[in-house]
Amino acid sequence: MKKLCSWSSWFNREKITLFIGSLVLLLGAIFPWYCLPQETLEAFGTNLFWTNAVRVPLALCAIAGFTYTFLFHIRQAPRLVFWGALIPILLFPYFITTWSPAVSFIAADYYNRGKEVSSHIDKNFSEVQAQWKQNIVLDNSDPPASTFGIKIEDSRFFQLPSWDKVILEGFGYKNSFFAGIGQGWSFSLIGVIICLMGFYLAWEQQGINSLIKDMKILVPVSLLLFSVILGSHIYFNIVNYQLNVQFAKGEYYQVVNTSQALIRLYPPFQGDEEFLERLARAELYTDTADPGLVNFIQGLENYKDSNFLEAENYFEKSLHSQPNRFLVRGYFVAAILNRGINYFNELNTRNAATAADIFEKTFNIFPGNVEALYDLMLARVVNGEFQKSAEVAKQIIDGQKYFQEPGIGLMGQAYVHLTWAEYNNGDINKTWERYRQSVDTKAWDKSGV
């Protein structure tokens, strides 16, 4: 009975709370914080090593939580250390969107292309459901979005209604970021909060006073950190505006020197079309032109004139010179897609086979591109190649597992194409199974793909 009382006294609310929080925090250190297809990351010359390396200090926090649960008194726990762990968790979207522009670009491209595909399915539902799709028309591919999203166009930016842009673009809390977020980040955020609850529960009536005492330290530090980040965004916008003024004045050497420094100091400029175009033109005037950048600008001019084949040639030369320039890779894919779409959309002289061959070229540049896979899947069916269409559908289904919320319309269409392939194979039972998966999201997990 004494042992039972001893154990019951040990299992108090603060220790149970801290134990649960430490356990959840440990899960946050085990599961990845961000997920993107490995093949795509390799093609872009980047990886998620540093992105997921933040799990190491969180693992130490989890160990500390278990230590104060079983060995030491909870009131001795370093609460400010756990508050300090919460800050990088909350700033994780900022670090990705600002200091890993290639990763941010890939995630945004997947998200934006997925939205375009979903929009096409919604607008053309009767056509995409038809087996032969002979009258369907594909939408033109949009150019990739800039990674320099928090542009201050005018003074209205400083008005309160515009400050949602600061959170979405400046601090990275936008849908395109959360499309690839992993379970580790969510577990870490929840785990730290639960651990902090356990610490304050241990102080009982004095818990509020302890929280106020900690806030007197944390609030000024947080405000200072917020001000530094926001100030850096404003500062780089001012410098970018000043570069426009210098370029207009013909001060090209200053534009080149400052731009090259900015690319290192503020990585989002690496994926901004206007910034790179101004830099290339300034370099041309100073006879210090980077061939890769010049080819990109020439490709951009042809792209805007809808001369996609010529644009492809310039983008290919640019990418050969600088393989890690992700914006060039994005425009290269868009040019190829638009050229293939032009072949596909000519209803009188439709050449779905040629369009499919063109779409396939994108996978050497951007493996797993959602829009290219969708267009290729439709082109194969229009050309009567149901088995090849089914293979593309399997790639779509396999690729959607990396994202927080798979595209329902896209997944449904992929299973529809698998349904037709099974029907043409004469397997009625498998056809019915695939059809169920095309209309019931609960059946996706049962897929044999």
Place of tokens 């830099």: 279
CA angle 226, 263, 113 (to 5 degrees): 80
> Which backbone phi and psi does 34 adopt, to 5 degrees?
-145, 145
What does R_g of the chain's alpha carbons equal in angstroms?
27
- pLDDT of amino acid 242: 95
* pLDDT tens per residue, range 376-435: 999 999 988 989 999 999 999 999 888 877 888 888 888 888 888 887 777 778 777 787
Q: Which of 74-83, 209-218, 325-334, 392-401 has the highest mean pLDDT?
A: 325-334
Tokens of 376: 């290729």
Tokens of 268: 């989002």
Tokens of 11: 């299992």
pLDDT tier at 10, thresholds 50, 70, 90: low
Residue 125 contacts by C-beta under 8 Å, 6 or more apart in sequence?
Answer: none
Q: How far is CA 433 from CA 387, 416, 446, in A?
A: 17, 11, 9
**Residue 436: Cβ-neighbour burial (10 angstroms; 0-12, 13-18, 19+):** middle
150: left (phi over 0), alpha (psi -120 to 50) or beta: beta
Question: What's this model's pTM, rounded to 2 decimal places?
Answer: 0.91
Bridge partners of 34, per DSSP, are: 181
**For residue 30, how far is the Cα from the chain centroid?**
21
CA dist 233 and 171 (Å) reads 10
Q: Is the pLDDT of residue 373 over 50?
A: yes
Q: How far is CA 234 from CA 13, 163, 226, 264, 409, in A?
A: 46, 13, 12, 17, 39
Name the average pLDDT for the chain: 88
- How long is the chain? 449
- pLDDT of amino acid 206: 77
Among the ranges given (17-26, 251-260, 432-441), the one the predictor scored with the smallest mean pLDDT = 432-441
Q: Is the pLDDT of residue 1 over 70?
A: no
Place of tokens 């096409």: 120
- pLDDT of amino acid 418: 86
* pLDDT tens per residue, range 218-243: 999 999 999 999 999 999 999 999 99
CA dist 108 and 177 (Å) reads 7
Place of tokens 């008194």: 73
CA dist 79 and 210 (Å) reads 10
